């Protein structure tokens, strides 16, 4: 490592790597310091159960990565990245062997929803038609004036409704309501909260535009491609380097933290104004994940065979059941019948398991830092829609919120979303600020899932933070 750089990036997750690439592309010298021995943060994969079974440690499905305006402009395929996009984006099994499927094809999805075909089309048609503008707006820092204000106003007005109300008033069938509710539950908010419909609208539309795909070989392949490209343009990465104090950093003109505000407040405390330290300390974290990696002897035996056409399965039953699960979680109670997010990559990617064998990635939302073991409840929910599932389990590895935090210091209390989504933080992250990436010290920036546009593997927060540094400290 050299003694001096234009910029130091703390953390080699998707946002840290995106920040470093943005800086290196602009001709600045940059080094990324990563606490773990492996790079990727929330985009890592490893054999956590049995040899030959490759599991994603956090993120598993990447519509945001595939649709990221920043990642899309990088030559990642030249560095080994290959997206796999199943014909169905999301499957949502229901009772009695029924299932709602969000096929990549809008028409097929609508037709299968029968009575709700026209309502489904009406809900998503315009968003799909204007998908580039929707992406442009949602992937920016959201404090910028939108390029198409009328479209965004319409999205804002429709999305302002609580999801339960929207789903009941828009759709007549249990299938369409449940499908919508499954998308909304990614918000980590109770479905009765204002603006939760926005998640159902945007994620629902993404199912029919970019599709819900993932990198061949696991989330690690995306990370490895980002790192290889960064190194090809002169950036450096150093692993096994936990930054605890600014004095741990080599000489630099700008430091970009792809960590949470609490970590920035701790590490940079001597160089931050008091008001910054205060908001960083008070920054609120949100719900956690309880996760299980499964090694399976065969594919999951779904009662409805169409469920095998999607890599992503929303396992939670009806709108009412999903709303109850997320409400319990939000009131500090481990859900009795949890909404389970499940990915079955090995049906589409034969690099993920030994021949004939399979993997499953499953997690549910629990209160922050919960110690409750959700293993039986998660397995019970899967078994409900796939009788015989338990008999297919060869091995499993569970991850409590505390274990998730031990594997990645950004996951405070096991927090999935880089901070709470409540109140204005659903859109304005880390808080109500014109430039979300500034910290109060003109040489220190923050660009992580805690800043706009928020959680997910898209790299946009890191990219925006780096651009802010280039426009100011590194001008
Ligand atoms: C269980 C789970 C499932 C998820 N599923 C999905 C999904 O399917 N799709 C999706 O798009 N998103 C998903 N996410 C969210 C996604 O993983 C994150 O939003 C994303 O990884 C955030 O990127 P980041 O770069 O901001 O932070 P991270 O990816 O968390 O990376 C932060 C990095 O900083 C390092 N670090 C922290 N502190 C220090 C320090 N002091 N010194 C040096 N290094 C440090 C960490 O070790 C880590 O490598 C999931 C998250 C979880 C927890």
87 assigned to some structural domain: yes
Name the β-bridge partners of 45: 56
228 assigned to some structural domain: no
Task: Mark whether 133 and 166 lie in a shared domain.
Answer: yes
Distance from residue 41's CA to the centre of ligand 1 (Å):
4
Mean pLDDT, residues 256-274 taken together: 95
pLDDT for 425 beyond 80:
no
Whose CA is closest to 311, among 202, 219, 445?
A: 219
The best mutation among 1, 12, 13 to test binding of ligand 1, ranked by most ligand atoms within 8 Å of the C-beta, falls on 13
Q: Return the SS3 of 369.
A: coil
The best mutation among 32, 215, 223, 410 to test binding of ligand 1, ranked by most ligand atoms within 8 Å of the C-beta, falls on 410
For residues 185 and 315, the answer to whether their CB atoms sit within 8 Å is no
Q: Which of 385, 407, 429 is the last residue of a domain?
A: 407
Ligand 1 pocket, residues with Cβ under 6 angstroms: 10-16, 33-36, 41-43, 58-62, 64, 242-243, 258-259, 263, 289, 291, 363, 404, 408-411, 416, 418, 448-449, 455-457
Residue 90: the pLDDT is 98
Residue 366: the pLDDT is 98
Roughly what angle, to the nearest 10 degrees, separates helices 131-138 and 197-206?
A: 130
- Radius of gyration of the chain, Cα coordinates, nearest whole angstrom: 21
Mean pLDDT, residues 281-290 taken together: 94
Task: Mark whether 126 and 138 lie in a shared domain.
Answer: yes
Task: Mark whether 426 and 382 lie in a shared domain.
Answer: no
Using the CB atoms, write b or e for 79-96: b if 16+ within 10 Å. bebebbbbebbbbbbbee
Task: Please give the C-alpha separations between residue 323 and each of 94, 163, 193, 361, in angstroms, as whole numbers.
Answer: 15, 9, 11, 22
Task: Mark whether 380 and 312 lie in a shared domain.
Answer: yes
Residue 427: the pLDDT is 73
224 assigned to some structural domain: no
Ordered alpha helix ranges (H), 316-386: 319-330, 375-385
Task: Mark whether 257 and 386 lie in a shared domain.
Answer: no
Q: Which of 352, 381, 407 is the last residue of a domain?
A: 407
- Say whether pTM exceeds 0.85: yes
- For 54-87, how does the pLDDT look when each residue is reduced to its tens digit (9 = 90+)? 999 999 999 999 999 999 999 999 999 999 999 9
Q: Which of 407, 429, 456 is the last residue of a domain?
A: 407
CB atoms within 10 A of CB 78: 11
Q: Classify residue 238 as exposed, middle or buried by CB count within 10 Å of its CB (0-12, 13-18, 19+).
A: middle
Task: Mark whether 305 and 260 lie in a shared domain.
Answer: no
User: What is the DSSP annotation of 30-67?
Assistant: EEEE-SSSSS-TTS-EE--SSTT--EESS----HHHHH
The CATH number assigned to the domain holding 427 equals 3.50.50.60
Task: Mark whether 184 and 109 lie in a shared domain.
Answer: yes
d(CA 451, CA 418) in angstroms, rounded, equals 8
pLDDT-derived band of residue 321, with 50, 70 and 90 as boundaries? very high
Residue 428: the pLDDT is 77
d(CA 237, CA 200) in angstroms, rounded, equals 37
Task: Mark whether 276 and 301 lie in a shared domain.
Answer: no
End-to-end C-alpha distance for the chain, whole angstroms:
24
Residue 141: the pLDDT is 58
Residue 434: the pLDDT is 82
Mean pLDDT, residues 83-95 taken together: 98
d(CA 361, CA 312) in angstroms, rounded, equals 10
Whose CA is closest to 21, among 85, 68, 82?
A: 68
The CATH number assigned to the domain holding 185 equals 3.90.660
Task: Mark whether 149 and 208 lie in a shared domain.
Answer: yes
For residues 182 and 339, the answer to whether their CB atoms sit within 8 Å is yes
Task: Mark whether 253 and 143 lie in a shared domain.
Answer: no
Distance from residue 43's CA to the centre of ligand 1 (Å):
7
For residues 446 and 257, the answer to whether their CB atoms sit within 8 Å is yes
Mean pLDDT, residues 217-242 taken together: 98
Omega within 30 of 0 (cis) for the link into 328: no
413 assigned to some structural domain: no
68 assigned to some structural domain: no
Omega within 30 of 0 (cis) for the link into 453: yes
Residue 245: the pLDDT is 95
d(CA 195, CA 206) in angstroms, rounded, equals 18
- For 148-207, how does the pLDDT look when each residue is reduced to its tens digit (9 = 90+)? 777 778 788 888 899 999 999 999 999 999 999 999 999 999 999 999 999 999 999 999
Task: Mark whether 118 and 181 lie in a shared domain.
Answer: yes
Whose CA is closest to 81, among 207, 232, 218, 230?
A: 218
Report how many domains make up the chain: 2
Distance from residue 58's CA to the centre of ligand 1 (Å):
7
- Of 390 and 3, the one with more pLDDT: 390
78 assigned to some structural domain: no
| Helices and strands: H and E segment counts in the chain | 17, 16
Q: Which residues span the domain enclosing 253?
A: 7-35+241-283+421-471
Mean pLDDT, residues 28-42 taken together: 98
For residues 283 and 428, the answer to whether their CB atoms sit within 8 Å is no
What six digits make up the tokens of 343? 């990915």
266 assigned to some structural domain: yes
- For 430-470, how does the pLDDT look when each residue is reduced to its tens digit (9 = 90+)? 877 888 999 999 999 999 999 999 999 999 999 999 999 99
218 assigned to some structural domain: no
Task: Mark whether 129 and 109 lie in a shared domain.
Answer: yes
For residues 189 and 422, the answer to whether their CB atoms sit within 8 Å is yes
Query: Which atom number of ligand 1 is nearest to the Cα of residue 418?
Result: 19
Beta strands 340-343 and 358-366, pairing class? antiparallel
Residue 393: the pLDDT is 98
């Amino acid at each position: 490592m050299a003694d001096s750089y234009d910029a130091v990036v703390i953390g080699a997750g998707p946002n840290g790597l995106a920040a470093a690439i943005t800086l290196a592309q602009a001709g600045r010298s940059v080094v990324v310091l990563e606490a773990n021995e492996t790079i990727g943060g929330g985009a890592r994969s490893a054999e956590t159960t049995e040899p030959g079974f490759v599991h994603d440690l956090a993120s598993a499905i990447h519509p945001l990565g595939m649709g990221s305006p920043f990642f899309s402009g990088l030559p990642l395929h030249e560095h080994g990245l290959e997206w796999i996009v199943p014909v169905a984006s999301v499957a949502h099994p229901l009772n009695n062997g029924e299932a709602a499927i969000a096929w990549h094809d809008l028409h097929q999805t609508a037709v299968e929803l029968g009575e709700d075909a026209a309502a489904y089309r009406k809900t998503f048609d315009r968003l799909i038609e204007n998908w580039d503008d929707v992406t442009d707006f949602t992937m920016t820092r959201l404090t910028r004036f939108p390029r198409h204000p009328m479209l965004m106003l319409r999205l804002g007005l429709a999305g302002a409704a609580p999801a339960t109300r929207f789903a009941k008033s828009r759709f007549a069938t249990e299938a369409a309501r449940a499908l919508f509710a499954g998308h909304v539950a990614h918000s980590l908010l109770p479905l009765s909260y204002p603006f939760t419909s926005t998640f159902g609208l945007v994620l629902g539309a993404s199912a029919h535009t970019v599709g819900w795909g993932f990198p061949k070989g696991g989330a690690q392949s995306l990370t490895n491609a980002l790192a290889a490209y960064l190194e090809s343009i002169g950036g450096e990465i150093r692993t096994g380097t936990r930054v605890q104090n600014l004095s741990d950093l080599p000489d630099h003109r700008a430091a970009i933290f792809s960590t949470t505000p609490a970590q920035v407040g701790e590490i940079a405390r001597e160089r931050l104004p008091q008001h910054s330290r205060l908001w960083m300390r008070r920054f609120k974290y949100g719900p956690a994940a309880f996760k299980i990696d499964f090694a399976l002897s065969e594919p999951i035996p779904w009662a409805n065979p169409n469920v095998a056409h999607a890599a992503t399965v929303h396992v939670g039953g009806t709108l009412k059941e999903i709303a109850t699960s997320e409400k319990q979680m939000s009131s500090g109670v481990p859900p009795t019948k949890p909404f389970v997010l499940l990915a079955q990559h090995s049906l589409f990617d034969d690099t993920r398991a030994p021949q004939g064998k399979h993997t499953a990635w499953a997690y549910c939302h629990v209160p922050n830092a919960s110690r409750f073991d959700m293993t039986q409840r998660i397995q019970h929910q899967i078994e409900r829609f796939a009788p015989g599932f338990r008999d297919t389990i060869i091995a499993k590895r569970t991850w409590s919120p505390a274990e998730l935090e031990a594997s990645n210091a950004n996951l405070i209390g096991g927090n999935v979303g880089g901070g709470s989504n409540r109140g204005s933080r659903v859109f304005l992250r880390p808080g109500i600020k014109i430039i979300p990436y500034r910290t109060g010290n003109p040489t220190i920036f923050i660009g992580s899932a805690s800043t706009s546009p928020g959680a997910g593997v898209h790299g946009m927060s890191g990219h925006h933070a780096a651009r802010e540094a280039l426009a100011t400290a590194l001008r």
